Structure 1
Amino acid sequence: MNSFGGADVSVNGGNVDVNFNGPYYDNDDSDDEGYWREEPSEQLRIFHRHLDSAQELLKLDVGPNNVFSLNVMIYGHVVAATEGFLSSVFIKTTVGSEELIRRLLETDPEFSEMKFSMSQLFEKREGIKDTVAGYLQKLIFHDLKKIKPMYKSVLGHDLGDISWLFKAVSKRHDCVHRAGYGKDEKPLTFDEDEVAILIQDVRNMCQSVMDSVTKLEENQSNPF
């Protein structure tokens, strides 16, 4: 099953050759001028713009037969925008600081398992920013079990109790991959004001992230 959110592949026996790639992306979307290169302040502005649009859409009177579809689309969009913000800000902030790159290298198991010869030492050292950026771009930032401790160990920001976001990410999966239906083939339910509350919760969380990143950058530019 292929959708704009990814590809799910299931093979039940037989000699089957499975080939897939990222949908709706061409070479221009994967060049060096990645979305994460924008400054965190600009990323926050873009994020708030997404949420403002979502709030306006919630006010539309689309009739009782269309409310479900509207909630499904808005819910998925809000979670995706949150994931995009968390990703872009983390990558931009980390790659822009040698100290933060070092923190990542020292705390992430992926890098501790890398091995190379002494003859490759300077080659690896010169390309460390590209290596780190490439690694982070491949991370799935809705994998909150990995992202939450990374934010803490590298940026020093504690996302706190985000059990609500774990639930939102899980629900977003059904919004994107099953058009709002669960594995039991029953439609999701949205409590009154649930989408509006999610918008406010992610807005507050990402503003808190931005506050920490701003303080971090100020401390690095003024070490004394």
Structure 2
Amino acid sequence: MSASKDLFFEIEAQQCSLWIYNQYGLDVNAEDTTGLWNELYDEYIEMLDAEQAEYLWLERHSHNQFFHEFSTDLTTANSLLTLAGNKTQANTTYKLVYAHAVTLLEALISTVVRKLVISEHRLMLNLVTEYDALSKRTIPLKQVAQDPAIVQGIVLKVLSELSFHNVATIREILSAMFGDHMKGLELADIARICNKRHDIVHRNGKTVDDEPIDLSIEDVQQAIHDIEVFAADLKRRVYEALEEKDTKVQP
């Protein structure tokens, strides 16, 4: 085996050992003879394959497509409200559509942010610099030199673990990435909607005081409207940030 291949496998084994330790708190390396290394190494490779597949999926799509699909899916969700049957069925339908509308928004923000991380280097650097969970990380220069894409990989992994139905997370990530373009972004209505979605999903439609949440079709339609307005404002701000970049590179 060539020296370059030896180095490649040595680096891969080191990265796998680090992943095992971070994931399971186990200090296991390639010299292990119990069979545990082989089992966890296979899991590590599956994780890398999944991350690569996700990266390629993001690469194939545009942020514009994500906004368009969100709008279409939200309209479809709204149309389901008219299909509710009796009172019991209607109550369940309203809760399902309400929760799904929030999920659509969460998916929109997550995918747009991750797409722009891999396509807009400037925005990724903003996020790395301004978001504490990333800016305070320490990465050995040797590791970065061996794999220049490692920073992007870490950013994508951190983002994939966040819940974008958490308003504090939404504000923090968008502010870090887009700076002044997100000043004045109105999140009060979204916070209220996300809180009710939490009651629906985690307590089967009951508040912390065990009071059932009764939704009318008007309640759900208003929530969908508020989500739609927020998404339109977010799209405008994102596009303005991208246009600013394009303007700056003009001679």
Same fold (TM over 0.5): yes
Q: How would you bin the TM-score normalised by the shorter chain?
A: 0.7 to 0.9
Asked whether the equivalents of residues 39 and 92 of structure 1 are also in contact (C-alpha less than 8 Å), the reply is yes
CA RMSD of aligned residues (A): 2.6
The one-letter amino acid of 2:64's match is S
Moved more, 130-139 or 159-168: 159-168
Give the Cα separation in 2 of the matches to 1:181 and 1:74: 16
Cα shift readout 1:119-160 (whole Å, capped 9, x = no counterpart) = 334236442222211221111112221221321231232462
The yes-or-no answer on 1:32 pairing with 2:55 is no
Number of equivalences: 199
Deviates more, 1:36-45 or 1:177-186: 177-186
How big is the shift at 1:183?
3.3
Match of 1:210 in 2: 235
Query: Which residues of 2 match residues 143-154 of structure 1 at below 5 A?
Result: 143-154=166-177
Aligned partner of 2:196 in structure 1 is 171
> Structure 2: which 5+ residue stretches go unaligned?
1-45
Q: Say if 1:83 and 1:141, in contact at 8 Å, map to a contact too.
A: yes
Query: Which residue of structure 2 lines up, in the alignment, with residue 135 of structure 1?
Result: 158
Say if 1:95 and 1:132, in contact at 8 Å, map to a contact too. no
8 Å CA contact 2:199, 2:205 repeated in 1 = yes
**1:114 and 2:134 correspond:** no
Q: Does 1:181 align with 2:206?
A: yes
Mapping for residues 1-224 of structure 1, pairs under 5 Å = 30-34=50-54, 36-37=58-59, 38-123=61-146, 125-155=148-178, 156-158=181-183, 160-190=185-215, 193-223=218-248, 224=250
Residue 60 (structure 1) shift: 2.5
> How far apart are the structure 1 equivalents of 2:87 and 2:149?
59
Output the amino acid matched with 2:228.
Answer: R
CA contact (8 A) 2:163 2:169 kept: no
Question: Cα 1:47–1:173, aligned 2, differ >3 Å: closer, same or farther?
Answer: same
Q: Structure 1: how far apart are the matches of 2:84 and 2:128?
A: 51
Per-residue deviation, 1:191: 5.0
Mind listing any 5+ residue stretches in structure 1 that lack a counterpart?
1-25
Work out the percentage of aligned pairs sharing the same amino acid.
20
What amino acid maps onto 1:43 in structure 2? Answer: F
Query: 1:87 offset after TM fit, Å?
Result: 0.9
The one-letter code matched in structure 2 to 1:190 is L
In structure 1, C-alpha distance between the alignment counterparts of 2:117 and 2:142, rounded to whole Å: 27
Deviation per CA, 1:69-128: give whole Å up to 9, x if none.
111111110011111101111111133222111111111111232224443342364422
Whose helix fraction is larger, Structure 1's or Structure 2's? Answer: 2
Rounded to whole Å, the distance in 1 between the matches of 2:50 and 2:108 is 18
